[in-house]
Amino acid sequence: MNVHKNKGPTNVLWSGDQQSMPPEVMAFLAGEDVRLDRALFVYDIQGTRAHLIGLAEIGIISDAELNQFKQALEDLQQVYASGEFVLDQRFEDGHSAIEFFLTEQLGALGKKAHTGRSRNDQVLTCLRLFMQDQLDELSDQVSGVIEQLFSMAEANQNTLMPGYTHLQRAMPNTVAVWLLGLAESLLDDLEHLNGLKKLLNSSPLGTAAGFGVPLPLARETSAAAMGFARVQINPVSTQNSRGKYELMVLHGLSYLLTDVRRFAWDLSLYMTSEFDFVGLQSSHTTGSSIMPNKNNPDVVELMRASVAVVDGAVAQVQSLLSLPGGYQRDLQLSKEPLIKGMQATREVIGLLPGLLGAVVFKKDHMRTAISPEMMATDQALHKVGQGQSFREAYLDSKQDHELVITPEDSIKSRVSLGGAANLGLELMKSRLEKLTA
């Protein structure tokens, strides 16, 4: 197979025979597209194949030519995966790399591949496929974390700990309730990701530069070839979704990592000697370069900080969208924050199962930290049960030192749904099953 080697000028799709642009201008226009398109290249190949299937249906290429294209694209995917074909600075972007490869392999036939297509709907298509694929994998990761939290909660239903408001001791709680707080938050995030996937499940291919094309493109056929449920109909709306859909996805990632950040904050506090509720195995801590006594929760702290990467990506894309309708070259800069934000999120969620497995609960310390005044609410409600109004009972309980309620009694009485004695775990499991069905 004749694989294009690292030689010659940058290949572009729009210049014809004129390549007089200064290299520094060309480099500025191309930016980081080639490097970033390495994350999108397989999806660009997939979109090209679907477009060619549609062209064959309307007679622009023959079935025999379609088979030649399919084989060439399969070859490209294989040599790209093996490293024999490198997406590098020879090319303006991944789109030009595909077209030049097809032309090199198929000659004049390769020049038909871009018929009825613009780089505008081409990049929209591969970004849409990328986001769908990444969200599918992220959802699987989140589901696995939720299941692990369920298991940990079941094992710690009777592990007592103080509950806090304003960082002050408030009422007795259990580790199970605390863990399920993260689990249900992640269920919300998973439902939001499912909604995003439903929105993204539409094909922009065939809208070209935002005006349609003077060909009866088989858009539904191309959409089905990529697994999309529907087509995105209006070409102006489709072009205006560039950046908008990326922003929606990044917001979803931010919500997810915000929940992780809060849990990481709790872990950071509970690991301090002032709390001393939780330990971490050495697999997830580091030492100090100067203090031999230190055992630092660096993994937890970097997880806590990772939402800043995603929020930075949100700000970057949002600032790009102060644009009129239609495609503007500014939108080229939406790729990097999307890819960076997705990579940061996938990394954090991928590390969570190992972190959770490394957590050691110091049960005696947590139980000892539950002080008598934390049962005041239980005392007040006990008086309510004897006929006193809550406000009177509230005031009396501040001064009543005779009624003794233990932390264990307090936990056993927490029978409202979601409380320590009625976790609602089966309801949460049922919700997870529906979200992952």
| Pair 239, 207: CB distance under 8 Å | yes
**Which pLDDT tens digit goes with each residue over 144-185?**
999 999 999 999 999 999 999 999 999 999 999 999 999 999
**Which pLDDT tens digit goes with each residue over 206-235?**
999 999 999 999 999 999 999 999 999 999
Residue 141: CB atoms within 10 Å: 17
Catalytic entry in 20, 82, 166, 289: 166
d(CA 269, CA 21): 57
Model confidence at 205: pLDDT above 90: yes
Q: pLDDT tier at 396 (50, 70, 90 boundaries)?
A: low
* DSSP labels, 86-98: ---TTBSSHHHHH
**All structural domains of the chain with their residue ranges:** 23-115, 123-204+236-368, 372-436
Q: What's the CATH architecture for 123-204+236-368? A: Up-down Bundle (1.20)
Q: Of 51-60, 88-97, 316-325, which range is least confident?
A: 88-97
d(CA 66, CA 109): 10
Model confidence at 65: pLDDT above 80: yes
What are the structure tokens assigned to 70, written together?
């399919």
Model confidence at 380: pLDDT above 80: no
**Which pLDDT tens digit goes with each residue over 1-55?**
544 443 333 555 545 544 566 777 766 666 677 788 899 999 999 999 999 999 9
Is the pLDDT higher at 404 or at 98? 98
**Which distant-in-sequence residues (6+ apart) come within 8 Å of 135 by Cβ?**
193, 196, 197, 200, 249
**3-class secondary structure per residue, 213-270:** CCCCCCHHHHHHHCCCCEECCCHHHHHHCCCHHHHHHHHHHHHHHHHHHHHHHHHHHH
Helix (H) or strand (E) holding 141: helix 119-155
The answer to whether 288 is a known catalytic residue is yes
Strands 160-165 and 230-231: unpaired
pTM: 0.90
Q: Residue type for 87, please?
A: L
Q: What was the pLDDT predicted at 284?
A: 87
**Which pLDDT tens digit goes with each residue over 280-314?**
998 887 776 677 667 888 999 999 999 999 999 99
Burial of 210 (0-12, 13-18, 19+ CB in 10 A): buried
Burial of 309 (0-12, 13-18, 19+ CB in 10 A): buried
Residue 266, CA atoms < 13 Å, CB-side half-sphere: 19
Q: What was the pLDDT predicted at 5?
A: 43
Q: What was the pLDDT predicted at 290?
A: 73
d(CA 104, CA 102): 5
Burial of 26 (0-12, 13-18, 19+ CB in 10 A): middle
Q: What is the mean pLDDT of residues 344-368?
A: 97
Q: What was the pLDDT predicted at 241?
A: 96
* DSSP labels, 378-415: HHHHHHHHTT--HHHHHHHHTT--S----HHHHHHT--
Model confidence at 96: pLDDT above 70: yes
Q: pLDDT tier at 90 (50, 70, 90 boundaries)?
A: confident
Q: What was the pLDDT predicted at 275?
A: 95
d(CA 223, CA 121): 12
**Which pLDDT tens digit goes with each residue over 103-116?**
999 999 999 999 99
What are the structure tokens assigned to 234, written together?
């209006």
Q: What was the pLDDT predicted at 17?
A: 47
Catalytic entry in 62, 151, 283, 288: 288
Q: What is the mean pLDDT of residues 402-416?
A: 87
Q: In CATH, what class is 23-115? A: mainly alpha
Q: What was the pLDDT predicted at 7?
A: 39
**Average pLDDT along the chain:** 90
The answer to whether 166 is a known catalytic residue is yes
Strands 230-231 and 202-203: parallel
| Pair 95, 123: CB distance under 8 Å | yes
Model confidence at 336: pLDDT above 60: yes
**Which distant-in-sequence residues (6+ apart) come within 8 Å of 112 by Cβ?**
55, 60, 61, 65
* 23-115 and 123-204+236-368 have identical folds: no
Q: Of 214-223, 336-345, 406-415, which range is least confident?
A: 406-415
Model confidence at 186: pLDDT above 50: yes
Q: What was the pLDDT predicted at 95?
A: 87
